[in-house]
Protein backbone atom coordinates (compact mmCIF):
# COMPACT_ATOMS: atom_id res chain seq x y z
CA UNK A 1 0.00 0.00 0.00
CA UNK A 2 1.42 3.41 -0.99
CA UNK A 3 1.87 6.10 1.64
CA UNK A 4 -0.79 8.27 -0.05
CA UNK A 5 -3.36 5.46 -0.05
CA UNK A 6 -2.55 4.67 3.57
CA UNK A 7 -3.05 8.29 4.64
CA UNK A 8 -6.36 8.46 2.75
CA UNK A 9 -7.53 5.24 4.42
CA UNK A 10 -6.71 6.53 7.90
CA UNK A 11 -8.55 9.81 7.27
CA UNK A 12 -11.68 7.89 6.26
CA UNK A 13 -11.49 5.74 9.40
CA UNK A 14 -11.07 8.77 11.66
CA UNK A 15 -13.93 10.67 10.02
CA UNK A 16 -16.19 7.66 10.35
CA UNK A 17 -15.40 7.42 14.02
CA UNK A 18 -16.14 11.06 14.82
CA UNK A 19 -18.94 11.76 12.37
CA UNK A 20 -22.46 12.06 13.82
CA UNK A 21 -24.21 8.68 13.87
CA UNK A 22 -27.87 8.03 13.08
CA UNK A 23 -30.00 8.45 16.15
CA UNK A 24 -30.90 4.75 16.17
CA UNK A 25 -27.21 3.80 16.28
CA UNK A 26 -26.67 6.09 19.27
CA UNK A 27 -29.63 4.53 21.10
CA UNK A 28 -31.72 7.70 21.07
CA UNK A 29 -34.51 6.06 19.11
CA UNK A 30 -36.11 3.42 21.24
CA UNK A 31 -38.97 1.14 20.36
CA UNK A 32 -42.37 2.36 21.46
CA UNK A 33 -43.67 0.28 24.37
CA UNK A 34 -47.27 -0.12 25.47
CA UNK A 35 -48.26 -1.15 28.99
CA UNK A 36 -51.84 -2.11 29.80
CA UNK A 37 -52.57 -2.22 33.53
CA UNK A 38 -48.83 -2.45 34.12
CA UNK A 39 -48.39 -5.40 31.73
CA UNK A 40 -46.65 -5.20 28.35
CA UNK A 41 -48.69 -5.61 25.19
CA UNK A 42 -46.76 -7.61 22.62
CA UNK A 43 -46.98 -6.75 18.91
CA UNK A 44 -45.67 -8.61 15.85
CA UNK A 45 -45.36 -5.23 14.12
CA UNK A 46 -43.90 -2.46 16.22
CA UNK A 47 -46.00 0.64 17.03
CA UNK A 48 -45.05 3.82 15.23
CA UNK A 49 -45.39 7.52 15.98
CA UNK A 50 -46.89 9.65 13.24
CA UNK A 51 -47.58 13.38 13.62
CA UNK A 52 -47.16 13.01 17.36
CA UNK A 53 -49.68 10.17 17.63
CA UNK A 54 -48.91 6.53 18.47
CA UNK A 55 -50.38 3.91 16.16
CA UNK A 56 -50.51 0.24 17.15
CA UNK A 57 -51.68 -3.03 15.55
CA UNK A 58 -55.40 -3.01 16.25
CA UNK A 59 -55.91 -6.76 16.70
CA UNK A 60 -53.24 -7.05 19.39
CA UNK A 61 -54.49 -4.08 21.40
CA UNK A 62 -58.10 -5.20 20.95
CA UNK A 63 -57.40 -8.69 22.25
CA UNK A 64 -55.44 -7.28 25.19
CA UNK A 65 -58.50 -5.19 26.07
CA UNK A 66 -60.75 -8.25 25.62
CA UNK A 67 -62.85 -6.64 22.90
CA UNK A 68 -63.92 -8.43 19.73
CA UNK A 69 -62.20 -7.16 16.57
CA UNK A 70 -62.94 -7.69 12.88
CA UNK A 71 -61.62 -6.64 9.47
CA UNK A 72 -63.71 -5.92 6.36
CA UNK A 73 -61.38 -6.26 3.41
CA UNK A 74 -63.92 -4.90 0.93
CA UNK A 75 -64.26 -1.54 2.68
CA UNK A 76 -60.84 -1.66 4.39
CA UNK A 77 -62.58 -1.07 7.72
CA UNK A 78 -61.71 -2.34 11.19
CA UNK A 79 -64.35 -2.72 13.89
CA UNK A 80 -64.26 -3.51 17.59
CA UNK A 81 -67.03 -4.16 20.12
CA UNK A 82 -67.10 -4.72 23.86
CA UNK A 83 -68.76 -3.43 27.01
CA UNK A 84 -71.61 -1.81 25.13
CA UNK A 85 -69.22 0.13 22.87
CA UNK A 86 -68.66 -0.32 19.14
CA UNK A 87 -66.12 1.55 17.03
CA UNK A 88 -65.14 1.47 13.37
CA UNK A 89 -62.23 3.01 11.48
CA UNK A 90 -61.39 3.00 7.79
CA UNK A 91 -57.87 2.83 6.42
CA UNK A 92 -56.72 6.29 5.32
CA UNK A 93 -59.77 8.10 6.76
CA UNK A 94 -59.67 10.53 9.68
CA UNK A 95 -63.36 9.93 10.34
CA UNK A 96 -64.03 7.20 12.91
CA UNK A 97 -67.24 6.16 14.62
CA UNK A 98 -68.01 5.33 18.25
CA UNK A 99 -71.52 3.94 18.71
CA UNK A 100 -72.34 5.46 15.30
CA UNK A 101 -71.19 8.93 16.41
CA UNK A 102 -68.55 10.38 14.05
CA UNK A 103 -65.22 11.43 15.57
CA UNK A 104 -62.36 13.16 13.74
CA UNK A 105 -58.96 11.57 14.26
CA UNK A 106 -55.63 13.40 14.27
CA UNK A 107 -54.11 10.64 12.12
CA UNK A 108 -55.88 7.95 10.10
CA UNK A 109 -55.36 4.18 10.42
CA UNK A 110 -52.75 2.73 8.08
CA UNK A 111 -51.40 -0.62 6.95
CA UNK A 112 -47.78 -1.41 7.79
CA UNK A 113 -46.07 -4.72 7.03
CA UNK A 114 -49.41 -6.41 6.55
CA UNK A 115 -50.89 -5.18 9.82
CA UNK A 116 -53.53 -2.52 10.39
CA UNK A 117 -52.38 0.16 12.81
CA UNK A 118 -54.86 2.41 14.61
CA UNK A 119 -54.46 5.46 16.86
CA UNK A 120 -53.79 4.07 20.33
CA UNK A 121 -55.34 6.89 22.35
CA UNK A 122 -58.61 6.94 20.40
CA UNK A 123 -58.95 3.16 20.47
CA UNK A 124 -58.22 2.87 24.20
CA UNK A 125 -60.27 5.85 25.36
CA UNK A 126 -63.22 4.65 23.28
CA UNK A 127 -63.41 1.67 25.65
CA UNK A 128 -63.12 3.74 28.82
CA UNK A 129 -59.37 3.49 29.36
CA UNK A 130 -57.07 6.31 30.40
CA UNK A 131 -53.81 6.80 28.50
CA UNK A 132 -50.63 8.47 29.70
CA UNK A 133 -47.57 9.03 27.50
CA UNK A 134 -44.09 8.81 29.02
CA UNK A 135 -42.00 10.63 26.45
CA UNK A 136 -38.67 9.92 28.10
CA UNK A 137 -39.31 6.17 28.07
CA UNK A 138 -41.34 6.28 24.83
CA UNK A 139 -44.00 4.28 26.63
CA UNK A 140 -47.79 4.51 26.51
CA UNK A 141 -49.36 3.53 29.83
CA UNK A 142 -52.99 2.42 29.62
CA UNK A 143 -55.26 1.87 32.60
CA UNK A 144 -58.40 -0.09 31.80
CA UNK A 145 -61.65 0.92 33.51
CA UNK A 146 -62.71 -0.82 36.74
CA UNK A 147 -63.96 -4.31 35.98
CA UNK A 148 -66.63 -6.12 37.93
CA UNK A 149 -65.14 -9.24 39.49
CA UNK A 150 -65.12 -11.41 42.58
CA UNK A 151 -62.85 -10.11 45.35
CA UNK A 152 -62.23 -12.60 48.15
CA UNK A 153 -60.74 -11.16 51.31
CA UNK A 154 -59.10 -13.64 53.69
CA UNK A 155 -60.12 -12.71 57.22
CA UNK A 156 -57.77 -13.99 59.90
CA UNK A 157 -56.58 -13.07 63.36
CA UNK A 158 -54.02 -10.30 63.62
CA UNK A 159 -52.63 -7.82 66.09
CA UNK A 160 -53.85 -4.27 66.76
CA UNK A 161 -51.95 -3.00 63.72
CA UNK A 162 -53.10 -5.77 61.38
CA UNK A 163 -56.74 -6.18 62.37
CA UNK A 164 -58.88 -7.67 59.62
CA UNK A 165 -61.95 -6.05 61.19
CA UNK A 166 -60.51 -2.53 61.20
CA UNK A 167 -59.01 -2.88 57.72
CA UNK A 168 -62.34 -4.01 56.29
CA UNK A 169 -64.91 -1.99 58.21
CA UNK A 170 -62.80 1.14 58.68
CA UNK A 171 -63.35 1.38 62.44
CA UNK A 172 -61.96 -0.28 65.54
CA UNK A 173 -64.03 -3.12 66.92
CA UNK A 174 -66.88 -3.15 67.84
CA UNK A 175 -67.76 -0.15 65.67
CA UNK A 176 -68.30 -0.80 61.99
CA UNK A 177 -68.77 1.26 58.87
CA UNK A 178 -68.62 0.92 55.12
CA UNK A 179 -64.83 1.12 55.20
CA UNK A 180 -63.54 -0.96 52.31
CA UNK A 181 -66.51 -3.31 52.10
CA UNK A 182 -67.32 -1.89 48.66
CA UNK A 183 -64.19 -3.61 47.33
CA UNK A 184 -64.82 -7.06 48.81
CA UNK A 185 -67.49 -9.52 47.74
CA UNK A 186 -66.56 -12.57 49.83
CA UNK A 187 -64.98 -13.16 53.22
CA UNK A 188 -62.86 -16.29 53.57
CA UNK A 189 -62.84 -16.78 57.33
CA UNK A 190 -59.65 -18.53 58.46
CA UNK A 191 -61.06 -20.21 61.53
CA UNK A 192 -60.85 -24.01 61.06
CA UNK A 193 -58.46 -26.91 60.72
CA UNK A 194 -58.51 -30.72 60.85
CA UNK A 195 -56.47 -33.36 62.64
CA UNK A 196 -55.40 -36.65 61.06
CA UNK A 197 -58.45 -38.44 62.48
CA UNK A 198 -60.80 -36.08 60.67
CA UNK A 199 -61.89 -34.00 63.65
CA UNK A 200 -62.86 -30.42 62.77
CA UNK A 201 -60.85 -28.00 64.92
CA UNK A 202 -61.54 -24.40 65.81
CA UNK A 203 -57.97 -23.99 67.03
CA UNK A 204 -54.84 -25.47 65.47
CA UNK A 205 -51.09 -25.58 65.95
CA UNK A 206 -50.61 -23.46 62.83
CA UNK A 207 -52.37 -20.48 64.45
CA UNK A 208 -55.70 -20.75 62.65
CA UNK A 209 -58.51 -20.45 65.15
CA UNK A 210 -62.03 -19.17 65.50
CA UNK A 211 -62.10 -16.12 67.81
CA UNK A 212 -64.47 -15.51 70.65
CA UNK A 213 -67.48 -13.59 69.40
CA UNK A 214 -66.99 -14.86 65.86
CA UNK A 215 -70.74 -14.57 65.26
CA UNK A 216 -70.32 -10.78 65.25
CA UNK A 217 -68.20 -11.02 62.12
CA UNK A 218 -70.99 -12.90 60.37
CA UNK A 219 -73.48 -10.24 61.47
CA UNK A 220 -71.25 -7.48 60.09
CA UNK A 221 -70.69 -9.36 56.83
CA UNK A 222 -74.44 -9.72 56.36
CA UNK A 223 -74.94 -6.01 57.09
CA UNK A 224 -72.67 -5.09 54.18
CA UNK A 225 -73.73 -7.78 51.73
CA UNK A 226 -70.61 -9.94 51.96
CA UNK A 227 -70.77 -13.66 51.29
CA UNK A 228 -68.94 -15.85 53.80
CA UNK A 229 -66.84 -19.00 53.50
CA UNK A 230 -65.46 -21.12 56.32
CA UNK A 231 -61.80 -21.77 55.54
CA UNK A 232 -60.45 -25.18 56.52
CA UNK A 233 -56.66 -24.94 56.60
CA UNK A 234 -54.45 -28.02 56.91
CA UNK A 235 -50.75 -28.38 56.07
CA UNK A 236 -48.73 -31.50 55.35
CA UNK A 237 -45.49 -30.47 57.00
CA UNK A 238 -45.77 -33.26 59.57
CA UNK A 239 -47.75 -35.64 57.39
CA UNK A 240 -51.11 -34.76 58.95
CA UNK A 241 -52.81 -34.11 55.64
CA UNK A 242 -51.42 -37.15 53.84
CA UNK A 243 -52.47 -39.46 56.68
CA UNK A 244 -55.92 -37.92 56.79
CA UNK A 245 -56.51 -38.35 53.07
CA UNK A 246 -55.27 -41.97 53.16
CA UNK A 247 -57.77 -42.93 55.90
CA UNK A 248 -61.26 -43.52 54.47
CA UNK A 249 -62.92 -43.31 57.89
CA UNK A 250 -61.15 -40.03 58.68
CA UNK A 251 -62.16 -38.63 55.30
CA UNK A 252 -65.81 -39.48 55.84
CA UNK A 253 -65.69 -37.95 59.33
CA UNK A 254 -64.04 -34.75 58.11
CA UNK A 255 -66.42 -34.32 55.19
CA UNK A 256 -69.46 -34.76 57.44
CA UNK A 257 -68.10 -32.30 60.01
CA UNK A 258 -67.31 -29.64 57.43
CA UNK A 259 -70.67 -30.04 55.70
CA UNK A 260 -72.46 -29.71 59.03
CA UNK A 261 -70.59 -26.57 60.05
CA UNK A 262 -71.16 -25.08 56.59
CA UNK A 263 -74.79 -24.42 57.55
CA UNK A 264 -73.49 -21.24 59.22
CA UNK A 265 -71.89 -19.92 56.02
CA UNK A 266 -72.51 -19.46 52.31
CA UNK A 267 -69.79 -21.91 51.41
CA UNK A 268 -66.51 -23.64 52.22
CA UNK A 269 -62.93 -22.79 51.24
CA UNK A 270 -60.52 -25.72 51.45
CA UNK A 271 -56.90 -24.67 51.95
CA UNK A 272 -55.03 -27.99 52.00
CA UNK A 273 -51.36 -27.11 51.58
CA UNK A 274 -48.14 -29.00 50.97
CA UNK A 275 -49.32 -31.98 48.91
CA UNK A 276 -47.01 -33.58 46.36
CA UNK A 277 -43.72 -32.02 47.47
CA UNK A 278 -41.68 -35.22 47.61
CA UNK A 279 -43.81 -37.67 45.63
CA UNK A 280 -43.38 -38.63 41.99
CA UNK A 281 -44.73 -41.21 39.55
CA UNK A 282 -47.44 -43.46 40.97
CA UNK A 283 -47.00 -41.93 44.41
CA UNK A 284 -47.86 -38.48 43.09
CA UNK A 285 -50.82 -39.87 41.17
CA UNK A 286 -52.13 -41.45 44.37
CA UNK A 287 -51.80 -38.17 46.31
CA UNK A 288 -53.73 -36.32 43.62
CA UNK A 289 -56.46 -38.94 43.46
CA UNK A 290 -56.93 -38.93 47.23
CA UNK A 291 -57.31 -35.16 47.38
CA UNK A 292 -59.67 -35.15 44.40
CA UNK A 293 -61.75 -37.86 46.09
CA UNK A 294 -62.02 -35.74 49.27
CA UNK A 295 -63.08 -32.71 47.25
CA UNK A 296 -65.64 -34.72 45.28
CA UNK A 297 -67.24 -36.12 48.42
CA UNK A 298 -67.44 -32.70 50.06
CA UNK A 299 -68.71 -31.01 46.89
CA UNK A 300 -71.58 -33.49 46.70
CA UNK A 301 -72.71 -32.82 50.25
CA UNK A 302 -72.37 -29.05 49.90
CA UNK A 303 -74.31 -29.02 46.65
CA UNK A 304 -77.22 -30.73 48.38
CA UNK A 305 -77.21 -27.90 50.93
CA UNK A 306 -76.95 -25.14 48.32
CA UNK A 307 -73.43 -24.23 49.50
CA UNK A 308 -70.42 -23.37 47.34
CA UNK A 309 -66.96 -24.94 47.40
CA UNK A 310 -63.78 -22.96 46.77
CA UNK A 311 -60.31 -24.52 46.70
CA UNK A 312 -57.20 -22.54 47.57
CA UNK A 313 -54.41 -24.37 45.74
CA UNK A 314 -50.68 -24.02 45.28
CA UNK A 315 -49.93 -22.72 41.80
CA UNK A 316 -49.28 -25.33 39.08
CA UNK A 317 -45.71 -24.02 38.75
CA UNK A 318 -44.96 -24.35 42.47
CA UNK A 319 -42.99 -27.13 44.17
CA UNK A 320 -46.26 -28.71 45.36
CA UNK A 321 -47.64 -30.84 42.55
CA UNK A 322 -50.31 -32.80 44.39
CA UNK A 323 -53.26 -31.04 42.77
CA UNK A 324 -55.01 -32.19 39.59
CA UNK A 325 -56.35 -28.84 38.43
CA UNK A 326 -58.47 -30.26 35.62
CA UNK A 327 -60.20 -32.86 37.81
CA UNK A 328 -60.66 -30.42 40.69
CA UNK A 329 -62.01 -27.73 38.39
CA UNK A 330 -64.73 -30.13 37.28
CA UNK A 331 -66.17 -30.47 40.81
CA UNK A 332 -65.33 -27.22 42.64
CA UNK A 333 -67.14 -23.92 42.12
CA UNK A 334 -63.93 -21.87 42.24
CA UNK A 335 -60.20 -22.35 42.47
CA UNK A 336 -57.91 -19.75 44.02
CA UNK A 337 -54.47 -20.00 42.38
CA UNK A 338 -51.99 -19.16 45.12
CA UNK A 339 -49.54 -17.67 42.62
CA UNK A 340 -47.03 -16.39 45.12
CA UNK A 341 -44.09 -17.31 47.37
CA UNK A 342 -41.80 -17.49 44.34
CA UNK A 343 -38.96 -15.92 46.31
CA UNK A 344 -39.01 -12.36 44.95
CA UNK A 345 -40.96 -9.27 45.94
CA UNK A 346 -43.09 -8.15 44.25
CA UNK A 347 -44.04 -11.57 42.92
CA UNK A 348 -42.62 -11.95 39.37
CA UNK A 349 -45.28 -11.15 36.78
CA UNK A 350 -43.85 -13.75 34.39
CA UNK A 351 -44.31 -16.57 36.92
CA UNK A 352 -47.81 -15.43 37.88
CA UNK A 353 -48.80 -15.40 34.21
CA UNK A 354 -47.22 -18.83 33.77
CA UNK A 355 -49.29 -20.15 36.68
CA UNK A 356 -52.51 -18.80 35.16
CA UNK A 357 -51.70 -20.28 31.76
CA UNK A 358 -50.85 -23.66 33.29
CA UNK A 359 -54.26 -23.67 34.98
CA UNK A 360 -56.03 -23.27 31.64
CA UNK A 361 -57.63 -26.72 31.95
CA UNK A 362 -60.03 -25.02 34.38
CA UNK A 363 -62.56 -22.59 32.86
CA UNK A 364 -61.42 -19.00 33.38
CA UNK A 365 -64.69 -18.09 35.09
CA UNK A 366 -63.82 -20.58 37.86
CA UNK A 367 -60.32 -19.24 38.46
CA UNK A 368 -59.44 -16.61 41.06
CA UNK A 369 -55.94 -15.14 41.22
CA UNK A 370 -54.51 -15.22 44.73
CA UNK A 371 -52.45 -12.16 45.69
CA UNK A 372 -50.11 -12.18 48.70
CA UNK A 373 -50.42 -8.64 50.02
CA UNK A 374 -47.12 -8.65 52.00
CA UNK A 375 -45.27 -9.35 48.75
CA UNK A 376 -46.79 -6.48 46.80
CA UNK A 377 -46.86 -2.70 46.47
CA UNK A 378 -49.78 -0.51 45.36
CA UNK A 379 -48.29 -0.41 41.85
CA UNK A 380 -47.59 -4.14 41.63
CA UNK A 381 -51.10 -5.00 42.85
CA UNK A 382 -52.41 -3.17 39.79
CA UNK A 383 -50.33 -5.45 37.58
CA UNK A 384 -51.64 -8.57 39.35
CA UNK A 385 -55.24 -7.41 38.88
CA UNK A 386 -54.28 -6.67 35.29
CA UNK A 387 -53.41 -10.35 34.84
CA UNK A 388 -56.85 -11.35 36.14
CA UNK A 389 -58.39 -8.91 33.66
CA UNK A 390 -56.22 -9.98 30.73
CA UNK A 391 -57.14 -13.64 31.20
CA UNK A 392 -60.82 -13.02 32.03
CA UNK A 393 -60.56 -14.69 35.43
CA UNK A 394 -63.43 -14.77 37.90
CA UNK A 395 -61.57 -12.39 40.20
CA UNK A 396 -58.85 -12.03 42.82
CA UNK A 397 -58.26 -13.21 46.39
CA UNK A 398 -56.34 -11.07 48.88
CA UNK A 399 -54.18 -12.69 51.55
CA UNK A 400 -54.98 -11.06 53.84
CA UNK A 401 -57.23 -8.31 55.24
CA UNK A 402 -55.39 -6.31 57.87
CA UNK A 403 -52.29 -5.99 55.71
CA UNK A 404 -53.58 -3.73 52.94
CA UNK A 405 -52.43 -0.12 53.18
CA UNK A 406 -54.64 2.82 52.28
CA UNK A 407 -52.67 3.21 49.05
CA UNK A 408 -53.34 -0.42 48.15
CA UNK A 409 -57.07 0.02 48.70
CA UNK A 410 -57.06 3.09 46.47
CA UNK A 411 -55.15 1.20 43.78
CA UNK A 412 -57.78 -1.55 43.89
CA UNK A 413 -60.57 1.01 43.81
CA UNK A 414 -59.19 2.35 40.51
CA UNK A 415 -59.28 -1.01 38.77
CA UNK A 416 -61.92 -3.22 40.45
CA UNK A 417 -65.69 -2.94 40.66
CA UNK A 418 -67.50 -5.40 42.91
CA UNK A 419 -70.96 -4.07 42.09
CA UNK A 420 -73.81 -2.69 44.17
CA UNK A 421 -74.52 -4.66 47.33
CA UNK A 422 -77.45 -4.16 49.62
CA UNK A 423 -76.44 -3.43 53.19
CA UNK A 424 -77.97 -2.39 56.44
CA UNK A 425 -75.43 0.36 56.92
CA UNK A 426 -73.08 1.07 59.78
CA UNK A 427 -73.50 0.45 63.43
CA UNK A 428 -72.07 -1.76 66.11
CA UNK A 429 -71.63 -5.51 66.35
CA UNK A 430 -73.81 -6.95 69.08
CA UNK A 431 -71.35 -9.70 69.96
CA UNK A 432 -67.85 -9.71 71.36
CA UNK A 433 -65.09 -10.76 69.03
CA UNK A 434 -61.35 -10.49 69.24
CA UNK A 435 -60.17 -10.80 65.64
* Residue 382 confidence (pLDDT) above 60: yes
Q: 33-143: which CATH topology?
A: Copper Amine Oxidase; Chain A, domain 1 (3.30.457)
Question: Higher-confidence residue: 398 or 429?
Answer: 398
Percent of the chain with pLDDT over 70: 89
Where are the extended beta strands (E) located within 245-401?
267-273, 308-314, 334-338, 367-372, 395-399
Model confidence pLDDT, tens digit, residues 202-221: 998 888 899 988 999 999 99
pLDDT the model gives residue 428: 61
Angle, alpha carbons 339-231-404 (nearest 5°): 55
Structure confidence at residue 8 (pLDDT): 47
Can you give the pLDDT at residue 280?
A: 96
Are the C-beta atoms of 32 and 46 separated by less than 8 Å? yes
Which whole number is the average pLDDT over 410-420? 89
pTM: 0.90
Q: Which residue has the higher pLDDT, 157 or 288?
A: 288
Asked if residue 26 has pLDDT above 50, the reply is no
Lowest-pLDDT range, 140-149, 156-165, 313-322? 156-165
- pLDDT score for 2: 52
What is the rounded distance in angstroms from the CA atom of residue 305 to the CA atom of residue 287? Answer: 28
In 8-99, beta strands by DSSP E:
33-36, 39-40, 48-50, 53-57, 68-72, 77-82, 85-90, 95-98
Q: What's the mean per-residue pLDDT of the chain? A: 91
- Between vectors from CA 231 to CA 229 and to CA 235, what angle results, nearest 5°? 165
CB atoms within 10 A of CB 144: 22
Question: pLDDT confidence of 160, banded at 50, 70, 90?
Answer: confident
The helix or strand, by DSSP H or E, that contains position 375, with its residue range, turns out to be none
pLDDT at residue 326 in the model: 98
Given a cut of 70, whether residue 194 has pLDDT beyond it is yes
Given a contact cutoff of 8 angstroms between Cβ atoms, the answer to whether 37 and 415 are in contact is yes
User: Distance (Å, rounded) from C-alpha 229 to C-alpha 232?
Assistant: 9
Burial degree of 350 (CB within 10 A; 0-12, 13-18, 19+):
exposed
Look at domain 147-428 and name its CATH class. Answer: alpha beta
Helix or strand or coil: residue 32?
coil
CA distance 230 to 23: 61
- Phi and psi, residue 202, nearest 5°: -105, 10
Answer yes or no: is pLDDT of 10 > 80.
no
Instruction: Give the pLDDT confidence of 107-136 residue by residue, as tens digits.
Output: 999 999 999 999 999 999 999 999 999 999
Domain spans, the chain: 33-143, 147-428
The confidence band for 343, taking pLDDT boundaries of 50, 70 and 90, is: very high
Residue 7 clears pLDDT 50, i.e. is over it:
no
| Residues 274-322 pLDDT 10s | 999 999 999 999 999 999 999 999 999 999 999 999 999 999 999 999 9
Amino acid sequence: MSRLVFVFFMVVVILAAVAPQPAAAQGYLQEVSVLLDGLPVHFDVQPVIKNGRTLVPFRAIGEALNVAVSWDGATRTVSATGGGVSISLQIGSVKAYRNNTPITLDVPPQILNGRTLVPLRFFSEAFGCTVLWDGAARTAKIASPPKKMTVIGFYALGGPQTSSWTNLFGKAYPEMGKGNTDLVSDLALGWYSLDREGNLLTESATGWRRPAGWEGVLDAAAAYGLSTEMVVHVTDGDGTLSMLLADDAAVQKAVAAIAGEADLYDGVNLDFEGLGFSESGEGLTTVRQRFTNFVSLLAGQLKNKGKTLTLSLHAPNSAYRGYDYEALGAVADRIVIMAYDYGARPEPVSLVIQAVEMAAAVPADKLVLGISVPSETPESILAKVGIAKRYNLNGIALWRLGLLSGEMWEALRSTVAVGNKESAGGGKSNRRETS
